[in-house]
Amino acid sequence: MRTEARLFTGVAAFFAVTAAGYGWFSHEPAGTAALTVAFLMASLVAFFLRVQYRKRGPRAQDRDDAEVQDTAGPLDFFPPHSPWPVVTALGAVVLALGIVYGLWLALIGFGVLAAAVLGLVLQYAGRDAQRSSSPGGEADSSHRASSTSTRSP
């Protein structure tokens, strides 16, 4: 992830220089704000990628001496199904309709949207702790092998 972090750091630097130059020469607040937000979003992605690189170390794609075989094996956990994206969309629609029709509907939509986003984020939060604390040796390993369905070619 080191390469991606450097790429997004470069994008963030570009937007910072562009926002400063645009704000200095144009004196127009909307474009300056848009470029500043673009700078902040690119900075956030670059920060996340740097933290992940420091936490997990270099991947095979980051090493010059890596072979194709180094990337083989299970990739990660991908959830099989989730109701939360549909609930999130429903909350966004109700919130948008509430902006048009009244504050009471917007508050309901905001509540549904907040609960859905929280459910989406925390849906699999305790998955690793639950799997490592479950008793049973052989049955647990067979469950673990069946739940990993995505493999690298």
Asked whether 102 and 115 are in contact (CB, 8 A), the reply is no
Cα 49 to Cα 62: distance, rounded to the nearest angstrom:
13
Token readout for 123 is: 């849906």
Rounded to whole angstroms, the Cα distance separating 151 from 65 reads 22
Q: Look at the pTM and tell me if it is higher than 0.85.
A: no
The reported pLDDT for the residue numbered 111 is 96
Positions of the chain with pLDDT under 50: 137-149, 151-153
pLDDT of residue 135: 55
